Amino acid sequence: MQDILSVLCGSVVGFSLGVIGGGGSILAVPLLIYVVGIRDPHIAIGTSALAVAANAFVNLIGHWRARTVKWPCAATFGISGIAGAALGSTIGKIMDGQKLLFLFALVMVAVGAMMLHPKSAGGDPNVRITPSIAGRLVAVGFLVGSIAGFFGIGGGFLIVPGIMLGSGMPILNAVGSSLFSVGTFGLTTAMNYAISDLVNWKIAAEFIAGGAFGGWIGLKLAVRLAAERRLFTRIFAGVIFVVAAYMLVRTGLPLLLPAGPHHG
């Protein structure tokens, strides 16, 4: 049953990445903990990071073929964020698991709010990297990489606006280009966690397999249902809010409430 749940949860994350480009990976950790049944939050984060990285690279292939990836900008942002992801994941590993999940739930609320805020689709589709653009991409890339590494998330919800801010490219190109950074940040985080034996390789493989299938379906739908993308995003944001509320209750109450008297 756990094997089936791993594949199904991976499909959900891959599908959301394919349809809306970012935000989907934020559900990987709660799905692994509360649905698949991984009890250690750190193992869930390490496993999620590996699975999300693989799913992002698979989805990147489709966007690469569609020629929506601006490689000079994507590579500059992604490579600069590797150091940030390494630093963030090192700090995340030594933090108490329940406190990390509580903070993770707060980030989910922020992600849901950002998804509801419409992004401008405008920009320069013929953008070329310059020294000033490169400087902005390196700075924002390191910051976003640090956050992604700390929480073990792909960070697509931050990468997309970050790349748009740094380069001025349209959102279509930013979504395609962001997947390279989602993959590199996730892979860096996963490798850091794997060093500490905090990755469940079997569940990660099943999650990745489901994600590849879900991502393929999501990408097909994204092209056909471009007009309904806002509706998909709003529904998904609602799901994120519900899951975040559940996590805040599960992790927040034990942290906030004083321990009761022990009864013999």
- Cα dihedral sign, 107-32-193-53: negative
pLDDT in tens, 9-24: 999 888 887 777 666 6
How many Å apart are CA 57 and CA 63, to the nearest integer? Answer: 10
Compute CA 110 distance to the chain's CA centroid, rounded to the nearest angstrom.
Answer: 13
- Picking from 152, 124, 128, 155, the residue whose alpha carbon sits closest to that of residue 141 is 155
Q: pTM for the full model?
A: 0.86
| Tokens linked to 146 | 């640090």
pLDDT at 170: 87
How many Å apart are CA 74 and CA 254, to the nearest integer? Answer: 41
pLDDT at 226: 65
pLDDT in tens, 200-219: 999 999 999 998 888 888 87
Place of tokens 């924002």: 140
How many Å apart are CA 213 and CA 200, to the nearest integer? Answer: 20
| Run of H or E including 113 | helix 97-116
pLDDT at 29: 93
| Tokens linked to 121 | 């689709």
pLDDT at 121: 61
Stretches in the chain below the pLDDT threshold 50: 260, 262-264
CB 70 within 8 A of CB 177: yes
pLDDT at 13: 84
